């Protein structure tokens, strides 16, 4: 099926809010950021004449979708337009992404998941683009540049973001980003999530834990069905608590030092 000329399309850039494409073969009159497309959907949902009883908006994504949600949570401005006037609570669920958006040039110090500094001279020479967007805030795309680096970081620090990562998503497989820029964030998705959560506390301070939460899904790998159908997945997507849930936080949250190895 060939989509009509009024249908927008992207390649891999959709996961970071890049503009839709227009090619010689598939020309489009307009190019729109994938983030702007979600902005318009959210604004439609928040229209009180259409959905007067709407109180919660959850934006969730797995794998490349998790990358999208991580960056969208930092860059969008519609939450601040909607939340105060409509009293709508926003939540972003980031599941098993290959990489994350960092807010300065620091990365974890070799082998230390809770210590961060600017990479060494040799690392910067080997990977000079390590802090370019979508991994950092250098060379932002048009959507994010309009927001600005200071606002991006400030917004992200106060938004409600949940990170779901599979305990078994710890292998070099399934389209894992293996660029030098991603490798500076960790060896695999599980390690990268644990390191990123430590980085957020390093960058924003320990108070970030009031709005940002990390849940490790036991015995689960890179599988969206199992991730979102898990106990923490259902809880953070739908505020669902099983009636027979065991009162043990260890069931969904494991020590980082035990899992990063």
Question: Above 80 in pLDDT, residue 25?
Answer: no
Question: Above 90 in pLDDT, residue 136?
Answer: yes
Mean of pLDDT values over 189-199: 98
Which residues span the domain enclosing 193? 53-259
86 inside domain: yes
151 inside domain: yes
For 94, the enclosing helix (H) or strand (E) is strand 89-95
**In total, how many domains does the chain have?**
1
In the chain, % of residues over pLDDT 90 = 77
Query: What is each CA distance from 112 to 19, 55, 83, 199, in whole angstroms?
Result: 37, 41, 38, 11
**pLDDT at position 31:** 77
13 inside domain: no
Q: Give the rounded distance of the alpha carbon of 43 from its chain centre.
A: 20
Q: How confident is the model at residue 255 (pLDDT cuts 50, 70, 90)?
A: very low
Q: Is-above-0.85 flag for pTM?
A: yes
For 64-112, the pLDDT digits (tens) are: 999 999 999 999 999 999 999 999 999 999 999 999 999 999 999 977 7
Q: How confident is the model at residue 26 (pLDDT cuts 50, 70, 90)?
A: confident
Query: What is each CA distance from 225 to 8, 217, 221, 234, in whole angstroms?
Result: 27, 12, 10, 11
5 inside domain: no
186 inside domain: yes
149 inside domain: yes
251 inside domain: yes
Mean of pLDDT values over 232-261: 60
Total residue length of the chain = 261
Strands 161-166 and 212-217 come out as parallel
With H, G, I as helix, E, B as strand and everything else as coil, classify residue 198.
Answer: helix
Q: How confident is the model at residue 247 (pLDDT cuts 50, 70, 90)?
A: very low
What sign for the dihedral angle of Cα 26, 27, 29, 31? Answer: positive
Weakest mean pLDDT among 21-25, 206-210, 219-223: 21-25
Average confidence score pLDDT of the chain: 90
3 inside domain: no
């Amino acid at each position: 099926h060939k989509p009509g000329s009024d249908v927008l399309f992207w390649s891999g850039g959709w996961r970071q809010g890049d503009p839709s494409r227009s090619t010689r073969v598939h020309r489009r009159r307009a190019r729109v950021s994938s983030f702007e497309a979600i902005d318009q959907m959210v604004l439609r949902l928040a229209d009180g004449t259409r959905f007067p009883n709407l109180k919660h908006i959850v934006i969730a994504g797995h794998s490349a979708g998790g990358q999208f949600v991580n960056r969208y949570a930092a860059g969008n401005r519609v939450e601040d337009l909607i939340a105060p006037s409509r009293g709508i609570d926003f939540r972003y669920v980031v599941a098993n992404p290959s990489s994350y958006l960092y807010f300065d040039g620091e990365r974890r110090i070799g082998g230390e998941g809770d210590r961060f500094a600017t990479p060494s001279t040799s690392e910067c020479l080997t990977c000079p683009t390590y802090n370019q967007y979508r991994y950092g805030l250098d060379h932002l795309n048009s959507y994010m540049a309009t927001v600005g680096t200071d606002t991006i970081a400030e917004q992200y620090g106060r938004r409600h973001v949940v990170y779901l990562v599979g305990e078994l998503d710890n292998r070099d497989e399934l389209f894992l980003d293996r660029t030098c820029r991603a490798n500076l964030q960790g060896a695999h998705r599980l390690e990268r999530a644990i390191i990123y959560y430590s980085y957020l506390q390093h960058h924003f301070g320990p108070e970030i834990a009031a709005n940002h939460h990390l849940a490790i899904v036991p015995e689960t790998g890179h599988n969206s069905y199992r991730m979102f159908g898990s106990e923490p997945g259902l809880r953070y997507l739908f505020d669902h608590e099983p009636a027979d849930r065991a009162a043990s936080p260890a069931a969904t949250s494991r020590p980082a030092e035990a899992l990063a190895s």
